[in-house]
Amino acid sequence: MSALPAPLGTIERGLHWIAGLFALLGGLALGVLGAVTGVSVFWRYVLNDPIFGIEDVSTMALTVVVAGAVAYGAVHQSHVSVNVIKYAGGRELTRVTDLAARLGGIAICSFAAYGLLTKGSCGLPCGAMTSNLGIIHTPFYYGLAAAMGFYAALLALHLVIGLLHWSGADPNETLD
Partner 1 sequence: MDTTTIAILGFAALFLLLFIRMPVGTAMMLVGAGGIYAIRPQASLPVVAGEIFSEASNYPLTILPLFILMGNLAGVSGMSRDLYTAAHSWLGHMRGGLASATIVGCAGFSALSGSSLAAAVTMGRVSLPEMQRYRYDNGLATGAIAAGGTLGILIPPSAGFVVYAILTEESVGRLFMAGVLPGLMLTGLFILAIWLVVLRDPSKAPQSAEAEPMEARIAALGRASWIVGIILLTIGGIYTGAFSAVEAAGIGALLALGVTILRGQLTWPNLRDVVTNTLKSTGTVFLILFGAFVFKTFVGFTGVTYALTQWVGAQGFTAMQVVVAILLAFIVLGTFLEGFAILVLTIPLVQPILQSLGVDLIWFGVLMVIVLEMALISPPVGINVFVVKGIAREVPLGTIFRGIWPFWFAMLAAVILVLLIPDLALLLPDTMFG
Selected from 4, 15, 95, 98, the binder of partner 1 by CB under 8 A is: 98
Selected from 11, 18, 66, 136, the binder of partner 1 by CB under 8 A is: 66
**Could you say whether residue 162 binds partner 1 (CB under 8 A)?**
no
Question: 115 near 147, Cβ under 8 Å?
Answer: no
Q: Which is nearer to partner 1, 26 or 153 (CB)?
A: 26
Neighbour-count burial of 91, counting CB atoms closer than 10 A to its CB (0-12 exposed, 13-18 middle, 19+ buried): middle
Q: How far apart are CA 96 and CA 161, in angstroms?
A: 13
In the complex, minimum distance from the CB of residue 168 to partner 1, in angstroms, rounded to a whole number: 18
Selected from 4, 15, 69, 153, the binder of partner 1 by CB under 8 A is: 69
Neighbour-count burial of 76, counting CB atoms closer than 10 A to its CB (0-12 exposed, 13-18 middle, 19+ buried): exposed
**Could you say whether residue 46 binds partner 1 (CB under 8 A)?**
no
Neighbour-count burial of 58, counting CB atoms closer than 10 A to its CB (0-12 exposed, 13-18 middle, 19+ buried): middle
In the complex, minimum distance from the CB of residue 19 to partner 1, in angstroms, rounded to a whole number: 10
Question: 123 near 138, Cβ under 8 Å?
Answer: yes
**Could you say whether residue 108 binds partner 1 (CB under 8 A)?**
yes
**Could you say whether residue 115 binds partner 1 (CB under 8 A)?**
yes
- Go through the chain and tell me how many residues it has: 176
Considering only the stretches 2-10, 28-36, 162-170, report the one whose residues sit in contact with partner 1 under the rule CB under 8 A: 28-36
Q: How far apart are CA 104 and CA 78, in angstroms?
A: 18
Residues that bind partner 1 (CB under 8 A): 23, 26-27, 30, 33-38, 40-41, 44-45, 55, 58-60, 62-63, 65-74, 76, 78-85, 87, 94, 97-98, 100-101, 104-105, 107-109, 111-112, 114-116, 118-120, 137, 140-141, 144, 148, 174, 176
